[in-house]
Chain A
């Protein structure tokens, strides 16, 4: 039992869960930043308890991770939040009570689902797989059940953090090039999405993604033909 890792993982789970029941955008952005921070700390905790010692590679990667996911991405998100002038997600497609209940169900399902992996692999902690899968599911859920384009970006980041947690917790080592590449991709993605959110808010006077539905196969005005 190495408590620190479990604490980190549980905090991660808590932050994903809180995302489903908070309506203030700034609060959500802070939660995602906290996830990034925890994700960066995890490899350091693992290295400490495996008694491998801190190699420069691990420390550098963790630092870059923390800076990008805990610092730069939230900054970009906050900026596009201020530019698009949204503070709250007022009318989600699914209310906050129902959302948090559903999140609990998803967490339970992930724990049940992850029991099947016991013995097949040896992660750093048995909590890794369930926490990662819950985050992935909650992220997908946020993308589907929230209106604002910005909340969808947050949902995507939660989804991505869950996948990254899975990779880190299973101690998959695939070289610094790939780690950095994945990080760079996520960074550019949020950057582009931030610009897109701003453009959408300027063009449509709103950023409700569910009202982006003008492109379709059989448009209404064409039925007369």
Chain B
């Protein structure tokens, strides 16, 4: 009897492997092999110069040396980080505030469904279409300039896309609008998870709303805040659609809104696979480290298994 059960268990469990076949096959072919060949490419000189194809020749770490000594990469890294910070700081502040309000049982806000629906909406919008819309709205003869002149804020159209900081602000603002709803919902889920008896105890002790927020909510929310921050940073490093469409791929003015992925996209389009490979490896290492931090913090995999 015992033997028979054991035999059955083994024969069932082979189905675990069978059901994993599609995932593993597709993952290996379309993710692991490309990752491997991307890394291999980073050690080869391989580009087109006019009609001449140069390479592929093995050059060791030359691509990396060229990449890091050219200075361009640091400019684009800085651009990416600046625009990420400009979008993330208001995003986390607004999300914390809204999350606290939505989850506050004493406040009992009405129409929460409506507000949550509205703030999450921009997250689902096609980023390229949203950027095209902003480009049209903020263009020199566009409606925003028009409105600002009509109400007397401006005397003549402000060229939003000719100034470094107005372009960056628009990119950051769009990222903010597209992502704060998502962050709010995540933080709110975290706040709802806090033991309500803590709030009740604080209330009995006569704590004010801001005391409760800073002394109870915020410290208990720290793991989720770190999770939100790092995942947002990983997302920020992938920033592409918005600045690409807004500046037509140029990163104008003066390449001040050129992001790392826009730079990668340029290499991919011009088929400079050596430099593109080195840049990809750089991005892979950074996102890999950030992912590990997320992984450690959420402890995924251990508790629910």
- A, B bound: no
A interface residue numbers (CB < 8 A to B) = none
